Amino acid sequence: MDGILLVDKPEGWTSHDVVAKVRSIIRAKTGLKIKVGHTGTLDPMASGLLILVIGKFTKRAGEFSKLDKVYKAEITLGAISTTGDREGSLTKKSSHQPAPAEIEPALNKFVGLISQIPPAFSAVKVDGQRAYRAARAGKSIKIEPRQVKIYEITEVKYSYPRLEFTTKVSSGTYIRSLAEDIGEELGTGAYLSTLRRTKVGDYAVERAKVIDKINLNDIIS
């Protein structure tokens, strides 16, 4: 049993939760202990497309993790978060309300190759340790910026304090960091309040199965 499985991850589940659930489904249906892995973490607060690799395809996880991705995001202006998203401790930053005419010029500054610092609460390794582990322990760490590509930011909707958009990005891009950078550009502060991954490469979430509808026939070999 080798291949990939497209799952529509619900909010509140970790990527490892999904892997464990699918592994248990396979074992219950076949009696076999099959390797299952994911191809790139999707934060617990986020929903959407998670590509799982099954059996021998676990050796090919890197191929899928390097693919470009598309997200639908909502950010909230006026406050910042310790984690960059709604799950962290929030602090009011500014009462300034940007005019609608300010939004698209600000967003356009992030289209193309940009330098981005991953969030402290992320799986990035610093001196051999996952950044989120150091952050949870209260340790101060320095995460070096990295170059990522924002191909486009479209479908923009704005009604203060909510700003929604769809963006296509390169692998390794953190939408939480993008949200924070947009908030800084607008002079208001911002955090990521909703995130849904809709595409990974040519794979779309419309082809994915929700957890309680997964069938072994859905494995693509």
Catalytic residues, which ones? 43
Distance CA 128, CA 122 (A): 13
Distance CA 122, CA 104 (A): 28
Can you read off the two tokens belonging to residue 188? Answer: 């208001």
Distance CA 44, CA 34 (A): 24
Can you read off the two tokens belonging to residue 90? Answer: 């929030």
Residue 214's SS3 state is coil
Amino acid making up residue 152:
E
Residues in CB range of 61: below 8 A, 6 or more apart: 37, 38, 39, 53
Q: What DSSP assignment string belongs to 98-136?
A: --HHHHHHHHHTTSEEEEEPPPSSSS-EETTEEHHHHHH
Distance CA 159, CA 98 (A): 10
Q: What DSSP assignment string belongs to 23-44?
A: HHHHHHHHS----EEESS---T
